[in-house]
């Protein structure tokens, strides 16, 4: 059985050092008019930054995990820019899907999809297009591109492959630490 050390590995001093260095960086970026959450979208070569930002919001709404930061969703979405560059049909599908989402959001909420403030309203918009090729393709790809990021595995309690360690019979088969002891 594995032992889990639930004690925090950080203390107040480490937190304060990190906070003291982060505040000036954020202040400089904000004064320059650059937001950290938007800078990655400008790196896209084929898809417009607004399309990429909408795809990240779609990804977060399809697979919502409040404990995950946007960088994991961005990592899952970025390959679509390369696919759109290689295949005009993929580019048309993505741009058409985002355009339809924005149009539906504009009809109902007078704003684009990415700026609809409530998640339940955005999910209702997604339910309106769940039969489309765009939605099915993005949702199907996200299962792999989001959850196959090794940095995420510990956040979900997945320890990775056990084949190279003798399989689950020798490593983790009987580890049930989430059930109360009888």
What is the per-residue pLDDT across 14-55, written as a single tens digit (0 to 9) for each? 666 666 666 565 555 555 444 555 677 777 788 999 999 999
In sequence order, what are the residues at sequence separation of 6 or more whose Cβ sits closer than 8 angstroms to the Cβ of residue 101? 54, 58, 113, 125, 126, 129
Q: Is 172 a domain residue?
A: no
Q: Is 60 a domain residue?
A: yes
Neighbours of 109 (CB within 10 A): 17
Q: Are residues 85 and 103 in the same domain?
A: yes
Q: Are residues 75 and 28 in the same domain?
A: no
Q: How many domains does the chain have?
A: 2
Q: Is 177 a domain residue?
A: no
Q: Is the whole model's pTM more than 0.95, yes or no?
A: no
Q: What is the DSSP string of 65-90?
A: -TTS-HHHHHHHHTHHHHHHHH-HHH
What is the per-residue pLDDT across 93-146, written as a single tens digit (0 to 9) for each? 999 999 999 999 999 999 999 999 999 999 999 999 999 999 999 999 999 999
Q: Are residues 18 and 33 in the same domain?
A: yes
Q: In the predicted model, is pLDDT for residue 65 greater than 70?
A: yes
For residue 18, the number of C-alpha atoms closer than 13 Å in the C-beta half-sphere is 6
Q: Are residues 87 and 48 in the same domain?
A: yes
Are 139 and 126 a contacting pair, CB within 8 Å?
A: no
Residue-number span of the structural domain to which 145 is assigned: 44-165
Q: Are residues 114 and 78 in the same domain?
A: yes
What integer pLDDT is reported at residue 26 of this predicted model?
54
Q: Are residues 66 and 138 in the same domain?
A: yes
């Amino acid at each position: 059985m594995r032992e889990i050390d639930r004690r925090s590995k950080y203390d107040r001093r480490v937190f304060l050092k990190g906070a003291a260095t982060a505040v000036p960086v954020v202040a400089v970026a904000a004064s320059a008019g650059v937001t950290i959450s938007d800078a990655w979208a400008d790196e896209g070569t084929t898809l417009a930054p607004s399309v990429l930002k909408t795809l990240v919001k779609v990804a977060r709404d399809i697979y919502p995990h409040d404990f995950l930061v946007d960088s994991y969703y961005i990592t899952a979405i970025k390959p679509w820019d390369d696919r759109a560059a290689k295949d005009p049909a993929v580019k048309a599908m993505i741009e058409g899907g985002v355009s339809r989402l924005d149009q539906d959001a504009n009809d109902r909420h007078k704003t684009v999809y990415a700026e609809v403030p409530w998640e339940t309203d955005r999910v209702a918009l997604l339910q309106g297009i769940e039969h489309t090729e765009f939605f099915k393709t993005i949702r199907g790809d996200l299962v792999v591109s989001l959850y196959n990021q090794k940095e995420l595995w510990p956040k979900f309690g997945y320890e990775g492959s056990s084949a190279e360690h003798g399989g689950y019979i020798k490593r983790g088969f009987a580890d049930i630490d989430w059930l109360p002891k009888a």
